Amino acid sequence: MAEMPESHPEGSGRKSREYGKGASNGAARKEPVRPGDLQLMEAVVARKNLLDAYSQVMSNKGSSGVDEMPVEQLMPYLQEHWAQIKADLLEGAYQPQAVRCVEIPKPNGGVRQLGIPTVLDRFIQQALHQVLSPLFEPNFSKSSYGFRPGRSAQQAVTAARKYVAEGRRWVVDLDLEKFFDRVNHDILMSRLARRISDKRVLGLIRRYLQAGLMKGGVMSQRVEGTPQGGPLSPLLSNTLLDEMDKELERRGHKFCRYADDCNIYVQSRSAGERVMKSVTKFLSERLRLKVNVEKSAVARPWERKFLGYSMTWHKQPRLKVAPESIKRLKAKVRNIFRIGRGRSISKVIKDLNLLLQGWSQYFRLAEVKGIFEELDGWIRRKLRCLLWWQWKRNFTRAKNLMQRGVDESRAWKSATNGRGAWWNSGASHMNEAFPKSFFDRMGLTTLLDRQLEFQFSM
């Protein structure tokens, strides 16, 4: 590829959270191009910026777009075609390809629509993101936490608890209806144009917004929305919603926003209802966005969830895992057991550990620990249930119980009791044969132990 070396530091980038892959945390620390400088596109195609973008795309991996090109083929393709692609970008003539529509189920029902760009367009979007992020990032609100370098969901949850502890014991929980599908292109472009004067960059972003959506072999044109799935989408959504952030700050509100999930903390129900009404009007009139009335509410913070967490009603509230998050975890665990019926217990535990370690890491701030002990016991019972189901025959069950130290008479009585697998998994003979120490030796992640480790390390 023109102006790029033969070897590249693949994997040096850092993966970003769900809802699209963004630039690495270091991107926002680069020296920004001045808003009045017309050389933004030259900065986008600069060699160092391209190398960083390539490393990030390779690190993020991801599935192929409509052209079915995997990330491993990106470099050979660029080596052959980059000279023409670069010329098109500099002339303002580059045309993005359509994005591939992928629908994933939402935790509370319905589907979330993702738009997966081709690998080439992810590469160009990443290069754009790395140049544009330093222009916008320093001016974003301190109360915005989503898809920003050095910021996280845990920081947003901690700030929310602080506001409640200060006496703001009512929350205006805003849910924007299909936000990523409803973004008005003209309004978004006008906000971008406040800091970008290079018309080639603005034109390229608009073409990305309007790129066709391929679904089931049929391509449709887009007149609104910024589909999740590309590196540029989080920056564009933050740019648009920053106007709401600035309005809330102007009014003196305390709030936390993570992407399109926003909670505003007030001192009374009446204040909350006034805020709900005025903010709904602002979003509708200024940003052409609609608040989902059914999912939004003015309520007590401990009656709602925020980023998977909830909190207790105490004067100094404690963070806890929201009931909906527990239900989602159990659903994922059940799915692992469904596909693991014919697999060894060690392989099932390996899959469980991948899930449990990530889940416990995310909920490391939870201060109400009882649920972790309860989940640990439930998971061990599921494993005992799997073992009982796999044994199938009475003879096999009796033999395995005896091998695990249960006396012969009791083993045969248990094996022939006629009860189902779930009942036996909770019975004393299976608990005696397969105690917690057995699963500890198998390497099963224990949620309670990990929470205690997090607590002592903080």
Token couple for 12:
């040096």
Overall average pLDDT of the 13-32 stretch: 39
In the predicted model, what is the mean pLDDT of residues 244-270?
96
Task: Output the pLDDT for position 114.
Answer: 82
Residue closest to 18 by CA, chosen among 62, 71, 69: 62
Give the model's pLDDT for residue 270: 97
Instruction: Bin 451: left if φ > 0, else alpha if -120 < ψ < 50, else beta.
Output: alpha
Tell me the average pLDDT across 166-178.
95
Q: Across all residues in the chain, what is the average pLDDT?
A: 88
pLDDT at 32 over 70: no
Q: Would the pLDDT of 458 be above 70?
A: no
Evaluate if residue 6 carries a pLDDT over 60: no
Token pair of 7 as six digits: 């070897």
* pLDDT score for 221: 75
| pLDDT value of residue 457 | 64
pLDDT confidence bin for 300, thresholds 50/70/90: very high
The pLDDT score that the predictor gives to residue 104 is: 77
Per-residue model confidence (pLDDT) at position 59: 93
Residue 405: pLDDT band (50, 70, 90) is: very high
Which pLDDT does position 13 carry in this prediction? 36
Q: Is the pLDDT of residue 2 over 80?
A: no
Q: Using the structure block, give the residue that is written with the tokens 């159990």.
A: 330
The pLDDT score that the predictor gives to residue 18 is 33
Tell me the pLDDT tens digit for each residue of 192-226: 999 999 999 999 999 999 988 887 777 777 777 78
* pLDDT greater at residue 108 or residue 21: 108
Question: Could you tell me the pLDDT band of residue 7, with boundaries at 50, 70 and 90?
Answer: very low
Query: Sign of the CA dihedral 424, 429, 434, 435?
Result: positive
pLDDT of residue 4: 55
Give the list of residues 6+ apart from residue 450 with CB closer than 8 angstroms, or none: 356, 357, 360, 361, 364
Q: What's residue 234's pLDDT?
A: 92
User: Which is more confident, 452 or 48?
Assistant: 48
pLDDT at 149: 92
The yes-or-no verdict on residue 337 having pLDDT over 50 is yes
pLDDT at 250 over 50: yes
Q: What is the pLDDT of residues 279-295, one digit of tens each?
A: 999 999 999 999 999 99
Q: How many CA atoms lie within 13 A of 212 on its CB side?
A: 11
What pLDDT does residue 101 have? Answer: 84
Residue 11 predicted with pLDDT over 50 = no
User: Looking at residue 28, what is its pLDDT?
Assistant: 41
Tell me: pLDDT of 240 over 80.
Answer: yes
Tell me which of 451 and 94 has the higher pLDDT.
Answer: 94
For residue 274, what pLDDT band results from cuts at 50, 70 and 90?
very high
Of all residues in the chain, the percent with pLDDT exceeding 70 is: 90
